[in-house]
């Protein structure tokens, strides 16, 4: 049997404000990761957004890590990227 799902939205303005803020920050992080990948692939923004599509944050972090390892090899630049990916994961 299919039971209809009822979704309610809280009326608390502070909750809605914080929820909107978290949603915007999450979307901004995903977009930043996509542009990070774009910089490695050397594609246009439009191509990157179309190609990457709706990959989730975990897949984006994994791809950034893989591309950074290929592009930078071992060294300070890779360490900085990996540290950033770790902070992204911790803040999810």
Phi-psi region of 73 (alpha: psi -120 to 50; beta: other; left: phi over 0): left
Asked if 27 and 54 touch (Cβ cutoff 8 Å), the reply is: no
Tell me: the pLDDT tens digits for 72-85?
888 998 899 888 88
How many of the other CB atoms lie within 10 Å of CB of 43? 15
Dist CA 87 CA 25 (whole Å) = 14
Residues with Cβ < 8 Å from 70, sequence gap 6 or more?
none
Q: Which residues of the chain have pLDDT under 50?
A: none
**pTM for this model (two decimals):** 0.66
């Amino acid at each position: 049997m299919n039971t209809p799902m009822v979704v309610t939205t809280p009326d608390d303005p502070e909750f809605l404000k914080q929820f909107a803020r978290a949603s915007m920050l999450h979307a901004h992080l995903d977009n930043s990761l996509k542009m990070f990948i774009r910089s490695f692939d050397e594609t246009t923004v439009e191509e990157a957004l179309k190609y990457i599509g709706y990959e989730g944050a975990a897949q984006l972090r994994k791809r950034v890590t893989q591309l950074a390892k290929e592009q930078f090899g071992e060294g300070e630049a890779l360490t900085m990227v990996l540290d950033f990916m770790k902070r992204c994961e911790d803040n999810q």
